[in-house]
């Protein structure tokens, strides 16, 4: 028959001590997790977040440029191009949301503002490309590619300023 | 001649059935970020799945029992029950990713909202499970999945610098500039999980019972696995290489299915693009069938219900009901607008976590003379099996810490 806990005071004490330690550990984890969720962001983590958001945006613009080139060369169908651009608009939306919700230290405020402007320019260029794919724009492929290239270099400039 | 055709068909379906949404997404993401520096993981994963599938096929053919019947018998109902919960959850996640993958591929081809396709895809999967014979289902999906060879054709048409690709492949443990070591290892685990998904083994061993394999079929089993899976692995490498050649130089990070096909369009134009999209639909559809069946197999085998496609649905009602419920849950999850690509990335990582749960019992049973008689694992299989036991355990233990530390590879 299995002995009950009451018959083993030493075991019970150990269990209680273990239980106290466990509670302390859980409390520490909760405190640390809560502290890490604080709103203000350190300079290095703000730099990381801005860089990551801008790199996503640059990837979206490069993808859009490739899609426009392929469609212009008749190497892709319009539905595939439309889906491709729609996906990239989603990426830019996420990238924009990531930047907009950042609370950086004062020295990072200007790059963040420039980053948000660059992502806005990129979004405009990709949206224009999607209108063109759907035959709702008078712009030529060359003009769209120029706009996308401009958006990409704007992002690159901010990335260089942030130090990526 | 008939036997030869059977062997060829088995190999071709093993190639076409190897790649699923997890392989597609993970290889393209890895190719666009790390070039071919993680190709060694595909090799490790392919050898592992060959070993694992050969063992489970051999166990099923010799003992006449599928994986989960054996797991329950060896581990007892309580431990096997815990195993079932974890395996079923991972399988459900994979099923969700596959149904989402079909919807994304159809969205790509049509530009019609993917949530409309989710319902169509799930209904089509259910209809095939309900009405179509096991062998037809397996062969058609596998053969159409072969269209993914379009990635290999695209790679040759792109005319890459082969020396550069080989140099990338040789740079083991050295991620390209700008990529962190943590993310490199996170994706190593994800690629391993994508190649060695547990559902493949549930499907493979239960399929052996469905097709009434006996010890006489062991040589064909070995041939299918040892030829088909490595060739399927080459398709995975081709996907990664296409991304490495076209997307990586432009700093394009893959986050959607539409980006994965861009190198194909660049290389082969609309015709090759159409072939590859059809291949993606077939591969994800085939994998959705396999994962849905695996849901039914695991639960029915654990609970001792009658199961199998060889029985009419009315004779295996609870088995079919389990598949329907699994499909409905998958549709429900996808309808919340969760990104199927994100689900896929999670599913391959958690596949690595859950792998020991099925790998260890199969490894033990394949060595048990009571079950296997003269067909117990040989010295080579045992040596490899032990090495892979360590790899599987390390990958399972490292997966979640790496995921947390790297923000799921975003660091």
pLDDT of residue A19: 65
As a 3-state breakdown, chain B gives helix, strand, coil percent values, each rounded to 5, of 85, 0, 15
Domain tally for chain A? 2
CA distance A40 to B115: 37
Of the listed ranges B196-210, B269-283, B343-357, the least confidently predicted one is B196-210
Say whether residue A79 is in contact with chain B using an 8 A CB cutoff.
yes
- Write down the mean pLDDT value for chain B: 91
Q: Tokens standing for B115?
A: 């949530």
Q: Tokens standing for B331?
A: 């549709």
pLDDT of residue A119: 96
pLDDT tens readout for residues B33-62: 999 999 999 999 999 999 988 888 888 888
Mutation target for A interface from B255, B257, B261, B263: give the one with most A CBs within 10 A.
Answer: B255
CA distance B13 to A155: 46
Q: Tokens standing for B408?
A: 């799921």
Both A78 and A119 in one domain: the answer is: yes
Q: Are residues B227 and B382 in contact, defined by beta-carbon separation less than 8 angstroms?
A: no
pLDDT of residue B221: 82
CATH number at residue A60: 1.20.120
Q: At what angle do helices B340-366 and B181-195 cross, to 10 degrees?
A: 60
Q: Which DSSP state fits B225?
A: I
Q: Give the nearest chain A residue to B107 (CA atoms).
A: A83
Mean predicted confidence (pLDDT) in B271-280? 96
As a 3-state breakdown, chain A gives helix, strand, coil percent values, each rounded to 5, of 80, 0, 20
Both A103 and A138 in one domain: the answer is: yes
From B288's Cα to the closest Cα of chain A, the distance in A is 23
- The CATH class of B24-406 is mainly alpha
Both A113 and A140 in one domain: the answer is: yes
Domain boundary assignment for chain B: 24-406
Both A24 and A64 in one domain: the answer is: no
CA distance B396 to B94: 17
Of the listed ranges A13-17, B24-28, B186-190, the least confidently predicted one is A13-17
Ordered DSSP codes for B46-106:
HHHHHHHHHHHHHHHHHH---HHHHHHHHHHHHHHHHHHHHHHHHHHHHHHHHHHHHHHHH
Is B247's pLDDT higher than 50?
yes
Tell me the residue range of the domain where A32 lies.
Answer: 5-36
Mutation target for B interface from A52, A65, A83, A129: give the one with most B CBs within 10 A.
Answer: A83
Mean predicted confidence (pLDDT) in A27-35? 67
pLDDT of residue A10: 53
Mean predicted confidence (pLDDT) in B8-19? 73
Both A58 and A9 in one domain: the answer is: no
pLDDT tens readout for residues A108-142: 899 999 999 999 999 999 999 999 999 988 889 99
Among partner residues A70, A76, A87, which is closest to B256 by beta-carbon distance? Answer: A87
List, in order, residues 6 or more apart from B227 with CB less than 8 Å away. B11, B14
Question: Please, which pLDDT band fits residue A1 given cuts at 50, 70 and 90?
Answer: very low
List, in order, residues 6 or more apart from A15 with CB less than 8 Å away. A5
pLDDT of residue A4: 46
pLDDT of residue A2: 46
Is B99's pLDDT higher than 60?
yes
What percent of chain B clears pLDDT 70, i.e. is strictly above it? 98
pLDDT tens readout for residues B124-138: 999 999 999 988 888
pLDDT of residue A6: 45
Question: Please, which pLDDT band fits residue A41 given cuts at 50, 70 and 90?
Answer: low
**Contact call for A74 and B253, based on CB within 8 A:** no
Q: Which residue has the higher pLDDT, B111 or B6?
A: B111
Question: Please, which pLDDT band fits residue B159 given cuts at 50, 70 and 90?
Answer: very high
Question: Please, which pLDDT band fits residue B198 given cuts at 50, 70 and 90?
Answer: confident
From A56's Cα to the closest Cα of chain B, the distance in A is 7
Residues of B with CB below 8 A from A55's CB? 251, 253
**Contact call for B252 and A63, based on CB within 8 A:** yes
- Write down the mean pLDDT value for chain A: 85
Say whether residue A29 is in contact with chain B using an 8 A CB cutoff.
no
Q: Are residues B145 and B19 in contact, defined by beta-carbon separation less than 8 angstroms?
A: yes
Ordered DSSP codes for B123-189:
HHHHHHHHHS-HHHHHHHHHHHHGGGGHHHHHHHHH---HHHHHHHHH-TT-PPTT--HHHHHHHHH
Is A102's pLDDT higher than 70?
yes
Both A61 and A126 in one domain: the answer is: yes
Both A19 and A90 in one domain: the answer is: no
- Of B36, B355, B363, the closest CA to residue B194 belongs to B355
pLDDT of residue A7: 46
Question: Please, which pLDDT band fits residue B224 given cuts at 50, 70 and 90?
Answer: confident
């Amino acid at each position: 028959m299995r002995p009950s806990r009451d018959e083993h005071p030493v075991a019970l004490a150990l269990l209680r001590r273990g239980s106290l330690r466990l509670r302390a550990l859980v409390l520490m984890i909760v405190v640390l997790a809560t502290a890490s969720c604080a709103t203000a962001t350190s300079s290095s983590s703000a730099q990381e977040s801005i860089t990551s958001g801008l790199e996503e945006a640059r990837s979206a613009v490069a993808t859009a440029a490739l899609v426009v080139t392929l469609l212009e060369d008749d190497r892709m169908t319009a539905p595939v191009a439309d889906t491709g651009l729609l996906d990239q608009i989603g990426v830019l939306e996420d990238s924009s949301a990531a930047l907009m919700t950042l609370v950086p230290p004062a020295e990072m405020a200007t790059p963040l503002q420039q980053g948000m402007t660059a992502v806005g320019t990129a979004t405009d260029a990709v949206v224009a490309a999607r209108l063109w794919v759907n035959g709702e724009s008078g712009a030529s492929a060359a003009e769209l590619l120029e706009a996308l290239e401009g958006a990409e270099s704007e992002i690159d400039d901010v990335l260089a300023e942030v130090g990526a | 001649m008939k036997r030869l055709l059977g062997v060829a068909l088995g190999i071709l379906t093993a190639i076409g059935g190897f790649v699923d949404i997890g392989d597609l997404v993970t290889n393209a993401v890895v190719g666009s970020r790390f070039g071919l520096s993680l190709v060694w993981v595909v090799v490790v994963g392919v050898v592992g799945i060959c070993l694992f599938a050969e063992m489970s096929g051999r166990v099923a053919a010799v003992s006449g029992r599928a994986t989960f019947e054996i797991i329950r018998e060896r581990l007892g109902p309580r431990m096997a029950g815990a195993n079932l919960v974890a395996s079923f959850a991972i399988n459900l996640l994979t099923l969700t990713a596959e149904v989402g993958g079909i919807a994304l591929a159809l969205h790509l081809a049509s530009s019609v909202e993917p949530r409309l396709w989710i319902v169509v895809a799930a209904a089509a999967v259910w209809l095939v499970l309900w009405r179509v014979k096991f062998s037809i289902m397996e062969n058609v999906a596998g053969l159409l999945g072969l269209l993914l060879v379009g990635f290999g054709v695209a790679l040759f048409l792109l005319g890459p610098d082969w020396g550069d690709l080989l140099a990338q492949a040789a740079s083991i443990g050295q991620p390209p500039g700008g990529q962190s070591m943590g993310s490199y290892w996170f994706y190593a685990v994800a690629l391993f999980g994508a190649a060695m998904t547990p559902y493949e083994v549930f499907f493979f061993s239960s399929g052996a019972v469905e097709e009434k394999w006996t010890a006489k079929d062991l040589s064909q089993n070995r041939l299918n696995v040892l030829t088909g899976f490595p060739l399927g692995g080459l398709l995975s490498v081709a996907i990664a290489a296409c991304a490495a050649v076209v997307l990586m130089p432009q700093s394009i990070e893959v986050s959607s299915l539409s980006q994965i096909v861009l190198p194909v369009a660049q290389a082969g134009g609309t015709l090759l693009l159409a072939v590859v999209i059809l291949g993606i639909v077939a591969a994800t559809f085939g994998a959705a069938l396999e994962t849905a069946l695996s849901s039914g197999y695991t639960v029915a085998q654990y609970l001792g219900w009658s199961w199998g496609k060889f029985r009419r649905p009315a004779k295996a009602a609870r088995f079919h009901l389990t598949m329907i419920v699994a499909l409905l849950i998958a549709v429900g999850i996808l309808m919340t607008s969760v990104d199927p690509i994100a689900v896929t990335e999670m599913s391959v990582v958690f596949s690595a976590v859950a792998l020991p749960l099925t790998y260890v019992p199969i490894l033990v049973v394949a060595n048990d003379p009571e079950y296997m008689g003269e067909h117990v694992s040989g010295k080579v299989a045992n040596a490899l099996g032990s090495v892979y036991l360590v790899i599987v355990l390390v990958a399972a233990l490292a997966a979640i810490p790496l995921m947390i530390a790297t923000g799921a590879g975003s660091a």
